Structure 1
């Protein structure tokens, strides 16, 4: 049974299946930039910063990558952020953890304003004490920085927290603080990228999270 006082969730691929909106945003941006869309990399674009994704996939210089990000956001803000579904059982899990008295937080590389809008739309926002997303000025772009924000705002140490995420970026961020980490294997990550990540527990699905926290299902 977990005795962590603060449970920190990634958003994309952990709380919600957001792939459709993200993929369509990339498709729109690629079309506007005159590039071919690369469907074989769909899972890899979920998790890292958008500018890094465009730079790595298309070999773009920074200014062109920023232009691509602007096109992506034009689509995402209007429509893409609402093209998602919560994973089955997540809402009840969040409510149950909250009833237990746990502090709940979100650490996501998604822009802060988009993360807040999505959580408001899903009606989960009321259960979270802290939502840490990346900022439009380029700050708080990595999980290490985001987890630091959560710990500062909640006043919990790394040893009192546990991070739940689906990508190696989540695990790397947690490892920076020797924080326990649950791999949400049901998301967009894969075993290859998680090979060298210190993992406390592997959740094959949301029911696995229930088991880890010793909650009824």
Structure 2
């Protein structure tokens, strides 16, 4: 490898690491508190265990619109279509949720998401079409021709796996292809257990990804105040 190629790789790697650190600067602050005893009792076995192991996620869920509407843990964590469930203390759950779980209730919103560049086009812009099924490529190409049926970005192989995962994938995984046939992850913007529309609309949420030298929307927004 020539000196020039090594130099470019080092510079790009350093820039990605700086960008990754800057992501946390704009991350919305989450206050970690204990869930109320009344909520733990009312929400059953899941909360009883996780209140001791991961109190923050139980408290986040307690404050969510899902909790206020009586949606329980298994309503979201039950394996959706084409998902492999796993046994967890007497329950069969999907440990890693995808857009497939959310679309069970939010199908119109999922269809809106598929039409956006946050969907398949976001992942393909870095990793190309290799991870997608033909059906997933067809969906992406329907709305944005040429955005999914493409090779990986050359910088991906130049930077290597660790830098790519720590830099590009942190944001572009919003459009990752899932094994259940769906595309993307809703929690990238809506957060996990708060499942908040309000948080998704905050400039600071968008600024977790839309910042830096190559897409400086957050900096432009801050300068506009």
TM-score (norm 2): 0.29
Answer with 1 or 2: which has the greater Rg: 2
TM-score (norm 1): 0.30
- The structure that is strand-richer by fraction is 1
